[in-house]
Structures are given as C-alpha cells and as structure tokens.
Structure 1
Amino acid sequence: MSQPVFFVLPQWQGSASSRAMRLTEGAQLLREDLPASARIDVPVPLEAGDALGTPVARLSSLIRARDSARDLLAQSTGTPIIVGGDCASSLPGLEAAARRHGSENLAVLWFDAHPDLQHPSTSPSGAASGMTLRHALGDGTEDLRAQHPISTERLILVGTRDIDPEEDAELARLGISPMHITDVQRITQDPDPQALTGPAAYAALAAEFVTRAAGATHLYVHIDLDVLDPAEFGSVHAPVPFGLQVAELTGVLRAVLETLPLAGASICEFAPADAAAADDDLPTVLRILAALTSGRQAGTA
C-alpha cells in the first residue's frame, strides 16, 4: 500500500462519557509510538465547546476539530489513518475518502459495537459519537453531516451488537444487516466452532465482504475499539460483552485488504483508565495498526 500518514486527533468532545478526557491521554500514548516522519498532529480545542442552539453537545469544538482535520487531509497524498479520538473523529476521514474516490466506489467496513445511527433530535445523550454514521451518510445536523456522504450500498457493519430501538429501525430502513464473526458458520455451512478462527474463517468473511461491496474500488475502515471483547481489551469507556477477539479483527483486516486498497481508516475510543491498563492494551492497538497497513495495493490512486 502507499505510505500511511497518521493523523493524531485527540478529540474528546464527541464522547458521552464523564471520563472523556481519557481519550486525549490515549491519543498521546499512540502518538509516542508513531513515526514522527509519518505523523500529523491535528489541533483540537481545549474547551468543551457549545451546542450552538442544536441538540449536539459541544458542537462548536467539534466543528473546529473537524475543519482542522479537513484542511490537513486535503494536503496529504498518503493513506490517512486517524487515531486517538472519539468516534466522531472518523467523520473527516470518511468524507475525505468519499470525496477522493467517489461515494459510489468506496466500501466502508464499520467495526463498532454500536451502529452510531442516533439522530440529533432523538439522541438520549446529545453526544456526536453516537451520531457518527448518521452524519457520514449525510443525515443529522447541518453542521456535521458530510458534504460527501458515503453510500449505504457498500456499508458493512461487523461486530455491532448494542443497538437501540431507533437505530434498529434505521438499519432496517437502510437495508443493512450487521455481520459477525459467527457468520462464518453460515457462510461456510460448517457448524464446528473451530471453524470460526484461522485463515480459512477470515478468508470466508473477506469473500462475503467482497460480495456485499461489489463494485467498490477502495476501502475505508472505521474501528471503534469497543468492537473487541472486554476480556481481551478493556481500555474503552463502555465495554460491550461478546465482541471480536483481537485475532479475529486483525485476521479479517488482513484478508479484506488483500482484496481492496485502503483509502483511509480511523481507530477510535482508546481510553485507558490508568498506566497499567495502557501497558496492557497499547500493544493491541499497535497490532491493529500493523494489520491496517498490511495491504499490498496503493490507496491513493
């Protein structure tokens, strides 16, 4: 693949957590492990920000961070990978990929315990993170919805399992059925639990992905780390049981990136509670980054 460029975006204002500032600490830890020559720091306001008369909490700071990221992404020629923020930090990356390659050509692989399809008018928290996919699809508040929306036709949700009723209704309206690693049993028609792991399983999921993303020329990958099972990764604000194993996530990434070039990616919600948790979980995030940058094909064509 082309040279990755890491955009460190320590945005916390989109989070619903009372401990949202842990995201800035997680971003700093990641920053220290990224090569300086391939790292770009995106300025994020220090203040919480104002809702600007909308239902979206801290909107003014979110807009400023988004606009800073937009400007820097527009100047980059490498494959952009956004790291270190809440889920809403994915928005400028998704929009840049859709603008560069065309929404009709872009497949989006959404690894997240949540679909993030809440609408600003009905969101229980007002947190932009829970509205990320809604805005990326061109819906939601005018200030955040994408100028270049992604397409639902090549949007694939993996590991999504905590869905509120309104999001469930929106998934049904959009015709989106989330995938899970257990879909390998259905795809391969193999009832053996051992079939859920290893290269054959990941290849099966990649083949299913290619079927769903037919016609795409490039791939964008969104990873909220809460897609992982809490038994393997705990440095997120709201762990959700029965998630993916790290090996499953990285295995699927490597298999899929053999089929499509990477247009960009985001890794969100790294929020270690303390130094011990950071020591335990930082290597996992770096392992995921390694899988993301494993593709053979260039992502800038």
Structure 2
Amino acid sequence: MKVFFPQWQGSGTGKSIADGAKTIFDYIKGDVISIPLSKLPLTLEQNINGHSALLEQLSDFKTLLIDKNPKTLHTIGGDCGLEIIPVSYLASKQSNLGVIWFDAHADINIPKESQSHNFHGMPLRTLLGEGNQKLKDLLFTEIKPSQIHYIGLRSIDTAEQKRIAKDHIYAPLTIDINHLVKTLKDKKITHLYIHFDVDCLDPDSYKNAYFNVNNGITVIEAEDYIKTLKANFDICGTSILESVAMTEDELEPIKNIINLLFND
C-alpha cells in the first residue's frame, strides 16, 4: 500500500515539506491513499510544536492501517515524525524488523532534550518507548535499539550521542554495506523498513532537502546501498521524506532512488 502523508508540523514551520511531498506524489502517480492534515494551529504543547495537530493526523494514519491491514507500506512524506506509525505497524507484523535510517540526523531526542521542540527529531526515541506519553500511546508496538541502523548520520546532538552510545546503536561514521548486511543477518533480521530522509545525501548530489548537511552520501552510493539491501532482505516498508523540490526537474537527481523505494 502506498500512502501520501505530507505532514509538515513535525518540522515546526516547514510548510515547504508538504509542497515537496506533493512533487513526489505527482511523480509516482498510481494508486496512492492520501491522509488529510489537521487544521489545528501550530502551538507548543508538552515541549512539542504542533502536538495536538500531530496527535490528530497520526491517529488518522493509525486508523487507516488498522482498517486496511496492508502487508507492505510505502509512505510519501512529509516530515520524519510520521514514522512512528508505519515503523511500529510493521514491527508489530515482523518481530525482528530491521530499521534502516537514511538520515543526516539521529532523530532520537526526547522533548525535554530537544532545542527545536520539533517532533521530526524525536521519532526513534518515541519508537523506543520514551518521550511523550500521548504519542507513545499511538504505537502499535515499541522497537529495540538493536533494530536501528543509521546510514548517512553526521549531525548529532550531544544527548542523542549519549543515547546511541548507551545501547550501542549501529551508527558508523562511514558505511560498509557488506558489513551492514552481515550485521543484519547476524541478528537474524529478514525484513527491513527503509526510512529515507533526503538530507542523508550530500548537497552536491541533491540540494533540495529541508535541512542540507555537508559531507553526506552521494546519490550513486544511496542507490547502491538500497539495491544491496533489496537483494538480501524482504523490504516490507519504505518512505521518502523532507524533500522540498517544487518541480519534477528539481526532483531529477533522486528519481532512481524513488523508483527503488517505491517499486517492489
């Protein structure tokens, strides 16, 4: 099942994320289910910007999955905060789901540690069962630190680094894809969820990320990593998030990545 969910409230004021998601939606076409966004104002509650709006629309996403019960799930977003729903859903279906987090940022803060108070920096911590209770209550199930594997990570808050170190979460400075494959297989992981925030890419490869961060992976490297993962594991879910390309021409550098993520 393919879902269009242009959530932007998790990024604070990043409405360009919704427009960027629409550009990808228009490129993919086909049978895609859309989730409407809340009209509640963007206010700071419980140390999270847009807390009430996020609860409302993420609840709608959860209800959709309960109703449709898909075997696979591919999400066009939107900010990274939306991931608590598809990741927890698929983790409830696959007991040892591997989560591949292509991202420049760790996304593993809790509200009281976050300087921005934006929920797109908190989804993994929420998935681990920590942080805001109302958002945790939306989870289908929690995940374990051993299920998380970062690619492209390079912008990490001090509190996030401590959390990663605490449970030895897989977060190498550079990626050896063969080592990652071996690590996953040693953990008896057979199914993967691939989260793809386009800011994992170096701006020289793709400049239309909501947050550009230097020294990322190249488009060619990302394609190779995804192909290798698809060749070795069952991919039951994917996402592409936080692109702000406004036209299909601006999307051109990552079209192969989108096709790899959204075509079985």
Q: What number of residue pairs does the alignment pair up?
A: 261
Is 1:79 aligned to residue 72 of structure 2?
A: yes
Which residue, 251, 254, 260 being the options, matches 1:282? Answer: 251
Q: CA deviation at 1:76?
A: 4.1
Deviation at 1:205? 4.6
The equivalences for 1:18-37 within 5 A come to 18=13, 20-36=14-30
**Alpha-carbon offset, residue 283 of structure 1:** 2.7
Matched, 1:58 2:50: yes
Structure 2-normalised TM-score? 0.91
Question: How far, CA to CA, are the matches of 2:71 and 2:256 in structure 1?
Answer: 20
Question: Is 1:124 aligned with 2:115?
Answer: yes
Deviation of the 1:247 alpha carbon = 1.1
Distance 1:13 1:293 in 2: 24
Cα distance in 1, alignment partners of residues 261 and 47 from structure 2:
35
Match for residue 230 of structure 1?
Answer: 203
Quick one: distance in 2 between partners of 1:285 and 1:72? 28
Extract unaligned runs of 5+ from structure 1: 185-201, 296-301
For 2:215 and 2:180, the matched residues in 1 are separated by 21
SS of alignment partner, residue 175 of structure 1: coil
Alpha-carbon distance in 1 for matches of 2:217, 2:182:
17
Distance 1:65 1:169, change over 3 A: same
CA positional deviation for 1:94: 0.5
Q: Which residue in 1 is equivalent to 2:131?
A: 140
Q: Per-residue CA shift, 1:142-170, capped at 9, x if unaligned? A: 01123411221121111100011111111
Structure 2 counterpart SS, 1:8: strand
Residue 293 of structure 1, CA deviation: 4.2
Measured against aligned partners, the alpha-carbon deviations of 1:86-105 in whole angstroms (never above 9, x if no partner) come to: 11011111111111222xx2
Q: Is the contact made by 1:13 and 1:48 (CA closer than 8 Å) also made in structure 2?
A: no
Cα-to-partner distance string for 1:33-54 (whole Å, 9 max, x where unaligned):
2233x200011113434444x1
Residues 12 and 85, structure 1, Cα contact 8 Å, conserved in 2: yes
2:32 corresponds to which of 39, 42, 45: 39
Identity, % of aligned positions = 27
Q: 3-state SS of the aligned residue for 2:150?
A: strand
Alpha-carbon contact 1:106-1:219 (below 8 Å) kept: yes
SS at match of 1:257: helix
Q: In the TM superposition, what whole-angstrom CA distance separates every residue of 1:218-247 from its partner, at most 9, and x where no partner exists?
A: 111111110000011111222111101111
TM-score (norm 1): 0.81
Separation in 2, partners of 1:48, 1:81: 28
Distance in 2 between residues matched to 1:183 and 1:288, nearest whole Å: 18
Once the two structures are overlaid, the 10-residue window that deviates more, 150-159 or 124-133, is 150-159
Asked if structure 2 preserves the Cα contact closer than 8 Å seen for 1:108 and 1:219, the reply is yes
1:14 is aligned to 2:10: yes
Aligned equivalent of 1:291, options 237, 260, 263: 260
Distance 1:83 1:140 in 2: 25
Deviation at 1:78, TM superposition (A): 4.5
1:246 pairs with 202, 219, 237, which one?
Answer: 219
Runs of 4+ in 1 over 4 A off after TM superposition: none
Counterpart AA for 1:221: I
2:249 and 2:99 mapped to 1: Cα distance?
Answer: 29
Aligned to 2:184: 210
C-alpha distance after superposition, 1:178-224 (max 9, x if no partner): 135x443xxxxxxxxxxxxxxxxx5x255344346x21231111111
Cα separation, partners in 2 of 1:119 and 1:206, compared to 1, 3 Å: closer
Q: State the secondary structure of the residue aligned to 1:110.
A: strand
Alignment of 1:57-206 (within 5 A): 57-74=49-66, 75-102=68-95, 105-145=96-136, 146-180=139-173, 182-184=174-176, 202=177, 204-205=178-179
Mark the structure with the bigger radius of gyration.
1
Instruction: Give the whole-Å Cα distance in 2 for the aligned partners of 1:270 and 1:119.
Output: 24
Task: Give ranges in structure 2 of 5+ residues lacking alignment.
Answer: none
The residue type paired with residue 260 of structure 1 is F
CA distance, structure 1, for counterparts of residue 85 and residue 175 of structure 2: 31
Q: Given that residues 151 and 175 in structure 2 are in contact (C-alpha distance below 8 angstroms), is that contact kept between their aligned partners in structure 1?
A: no
Check 1:279–1:290 CA distance in 2 against 1; reply closer, same or farther (3 A cut): closer
What is the alpha-carbon distance in structure 1 between the residues aligned to residue 41 and residue 236 of structure 2? 31
